[in-house]
Chains A and B, each alone.
Chain A
Amino acid sequence: MTAVFTGVCVAAGLLFLAAGTAGLLRFPDAATRLHALTKADGLGLGLIVLGLLPQMPGVAAALKLLAIWGLVLLAGATIGPLLARHATEREP
């Protein structure tokens, strides 16, 4: 049961990671590419973390996984607006 849960979540996470990368490569300008990035950060890594939680040997390792995801979300949430402002300053 946990194996199925892990499999589904990790597969979905990989899908979002790939979708984020595809967006980063294919979208026409910096502002739209920014949208793609946050999907990979938030959903891609988030789903992988969710799927791996039952595979962890203890509570400490599981909490570390959640902390890693939280830090990546925090970084993404900060960098997004900063980059967006940078992009609009340059090309109004």
Chain B
Amino acid sequence: MILDALLALAILALAAWTVWTRDAFAAGIGFVATGLLLALAWVRLGSVDVALTEAAIGAGIGGVLLVNAATHLGTTAEEAPPSPRQNRLIALLCAGFAVAVGTALLTLPDPAPNLVHEAAAALPATGLGNPVTAVLMVWRGLDTLLEAIVVLLAVLGLWALAPEGATRPAPPPREEGPLPLLARVLPPIGVVIALHIVWAGADGPGGKFQGGAILAAMWVLAWMAGLVRAPEVMDRRLAWALVAGPLVFLGVGVAGLVLAGEFLALPAGWAKPVILLIEAPLTLSIAAGLALLLLGPPERAP
């Protein structure tokens, strides 16, 4: 009880400070710290799955993306800050949104409408042990398919920022000493942990997005240390790695239309192996997409 109250207060205070502070680098670190506390809060709410996602995608990958963006921009933005009128408008819209969400949450009946019993009753038919994975892969597969495509679109959006003739992200600063050592020791361990997290997702907290995030982080670490080169944007193998997951997922969806009578429907009794068939390339695609986002836009060759 004390734990929860402390956690809630700290999250609110830290989030407010992160929005308030002028230093973009500091705000990035504040975002990471807030994400870590949020992960602990999700644990206290009994959602270890969400905590894993928050820790891996939110605090981990998201935090590094924000801090990288902050150092690219510099701490003082070049364009003029928003005018007081714009500021008031932004504050009004944000406050309005917060009030709307808060009102909706507070007026929900107790217990809130949910499908917990239906999900628990239908879980054995999926061959999975984790209801969260069953929602993501069996009952709401379309959402997951679109999420995987969103990662792909984000990479295309980032590449659209590249100047004419740029084919490859700029190399990181030369590193000697401890970083190349970490980049040699950590990735083998990280890859094992990532595969464990993907595999564990069938029966407990885990999954492809979290595992893919770790794989991406390990590859980017090796790149940061100068051990591997960033791929060319036009690299054929890279393109296949990026689209393999969504493509297989779409293929299974169309096959479902033929075999089970509905888009993305999984044939009865085959759910578990088909899910594994989708998850393996999807993990690869998510990892490749997140890694490319971390590398930043391609820059002109010097």
Contact = CB atoms under 8 A, between A and B. Distances in A.
B67 to A, nearest CB: 14
B177 A74 contact: no
Contacts of A74: 182, 185-186
Interface in B175-191: 177-179, 181-182, 185-186, 189
B182 A78 contact: yes
A59 interface: no
A82 B186 contact: no
Contacts of B181: 78
Contacts of A82: 177-179
B25 to A, nearest CB: 13
A24 B206 CA distance: 34
Most buried by A among B177, B178, B181, B189: B178
Interface in B65-114: none
Contacts of B185: 74
B150 to A, nearest CB: 30
A77 B177 CA distance: 11
Contacts of B182: 74-75, 78
Contacts of A67: 189
A81 B177 CA distance: 9
A53 to B, nearest CB: 20
A71 B178 contact: no
Interface in A59-92: 67, 71, 74-75, 77-78, 80-82, 85
A76 to B, nearest CB: 11
A67 B185 CA distance: 13
Most buried by B among A71, A78, A85: A78
Nearest to A80: B178
B179 A71 contact: no
A80 B178 CA distance: 9
B122 to A, nearest CB: 30
Given A75-B182, A82-B177, 14 more contacts: A67-B189, A71-B186, A71-B189, A74-B185, A74-B186, A77-B178, A78-B178, A78-B179, A78-B181, A78-B182, A80-B178, A81-B177, A81-B178, A85-B177
17 contacts: A67-B189, A71-B189, A74-B182, A74-B185, A74-B186, A75-B182, A77-B178, A78-B178, A78-B179, A78-B181, A78-B182, A80-B178, A81-B178, A82-B177, A82-B178, A82-B179, A85-B177
Interface of A: 67, 71, 74-75, 77-78, 80-82, 85
Closest 8 CB pairs of A and B: A78-B182, A78-B178, A81-B178, A82-B178, A74-B185, A82-B179, A81-B177, A74-B186
